[in-house]
Structure 1
Amino acid sequence: MININKDIELIKENIECDRVKVVRFEEKIKNNNRKEYKLNIICCSFDNEQDLKDYWRIIVDNVALYIQSKLEKVIELYNVYIIFFIDDINEELLYKIEQDKYSSRKIIIKKAMPESEEKLKSVVNKRLFYFNIEKAVNNFSILEILNNCEKEFYEYIDSRDLLKDENIDEIVNILNKNNLGGDFIE
């Protein structure tokens, strides 16, 4: 992750609050085609909720105008992240900001922005790039689940040695009767 100091003053344009701190990073990514593109990550620190409420949209607009508008690759346009650091925020404002679809992905981290660049990069990396996916240990069988939850469907399938085209109508009827097939099976 590379710290980009240029454009910081443009991002802070029209913000009448000296306590707002802004840091910008670019992260180079190689996709499966071995083509390289950049993620733009803008971190903003707010001391209080009122300042965030007053200025978050201005920051988003400035990022769209001064950073996003200069991006040439479509994939880069969709990979602009604005991370707001604040110790305390009400859930309504958090939801409003994070669900805003304009320009960029907005993320709120409920803690103070780390002072050191190294710690900040670590927090950002964990939030954006770290996935803790564990393989399920449970061994289960789909037939066992059907036997327990959808007895009629299980018995129908179990009673057939091979499913033939003429059996499909009966399967569809069972699925529709039990609301398993949704509204699309006819």
Structure 2
Amino acid sequence: MYTQHQLPPKLLESSGEGLYDTVELWSATLGNEKEYNCHAFIVRLQTEAYLSLNWELYRNDIATCFQTDLSKDIEIWNIYLFFIIDGPVSRDLKYKIEQDRYSTRKVVISKSSGQYQSVFLENGIDVRILLDTCLFNVEVNQGSSQGDVGNSVKELIESLDPDILTVLEEYTPGIKKQKEFYHSYLTKKNIQNEIKGN
């Protein structure tokens, strides 16, 4: 489930005039998980030149005026910064921005690149399709040497380790449930190792 939020006043106050006029903040609830969200800032820009001059400013503002106010580690490290550009963007700039590891995970999408065309509407973007496509759709590309490329993730896991598939199907994700998952898997594998810690 996706929810749009007002930009934090602290963020707006820190920026230059108009810098956040084309920025939206969204949160995504992951499945049945109600204890945390991932957050996505979506920045609409006209040109590569403007992106090149300002992407670090957006990143730094989000780090100091939003990320520092989050208390849950899982939320602190699940902030996404999407730059949606109407014009073309060079491969070098896109790579530089997307490989930057400070504060947020960054995605640069150029309308003219032909990639993610389902995201673009006549007068804007479909945020839900953007977030579904970029955050939650997983494509596994096996390569021809490992068999049929059409296999689902479930089929791949089942072929490699059916026991873990059984455990995954019974597992309810949540914070601090890794011990429960590993214990269940080790029991399924009949491994008698002692699991330490509580």
Indicate the TM-score class for this superposition, using the shorter chain for normalisation: 0.5 to 0.7
- Specify the alignment match of 1:2 in structure 2: 3
Check conservation: 2:12, 2:20, Cα contact below 8 A.
Answer: no
1:129-167 residue CA offsets vs partner (Å, 9 max, x unmatched): 1123478438xxxxxxxxxxxxxxxxxxxxxxxxxxxxx
Cα distance in 1 for partners of 2:13, 2:51 equals: 13
- Equivalent position amino acid for 2:42 in 1: C
- Equivalent position amino acid for 2:90 in 1: N
Cα distance in 2 for partners of 1:97, 1:43 equals: 14
- Specify the alignment match of 2:26 in structure 1: 25
Cα drift, residue 116 of structure 1: 5.4
Check conservation: 1:37, 1:76, Cα contact below 8 A.
Answer: yes
Q: Find the residue that maps to 1:36 and give its secondary structure.
A: coil
The 5 Å alignment of 1:154-173 reads: none
Cα distance in 2 for partners of 1:26, 1:7 equals: 13
- Specify the alignment match of 1:53 in structure 2: 52
The alignment's TM-score, normalised by the length of structure 1, stands at: 0.62
Cα drift, residue 78 of structure 1: 0.7
Larger Rg: 1
Cα distance in 1 for partners of 2:79, 2:42 equals: 11
Check conservation: 2:5, 2:27, Cα contact below 8 A.
Answer: yes
Per mean C-alpha deviation after superposition, the further-off stretch among 76-85 and 127-136 is 127-136
The alignment's TM-score, normalised by the length of structure 2, stands at: 0.59
1:13-33 residue CA offsets vs partner (Å, 9 max, x unmatched): 4345669610110112258xx
- Specify the alignment match of 1:182 in structure 2: none
Cα distance in 2 for partners of 1:20, 1:6 equals: 10
- Equivalent position amino acid for 2:30 in 1: I
| Root-mean-square deviation (Å) | 2.9
Cα distance in 2 for partners of 1:57, 1:121 equals: 25
- Equivalent position amino acid for 2:138 in 1: F
Cα distance in 1 for partners of 2:31, 2:107 equals: 23
Number of aligned residues: 135
Identify unmatched segments of 5+ residues in structure 2: 113-119, 150-198
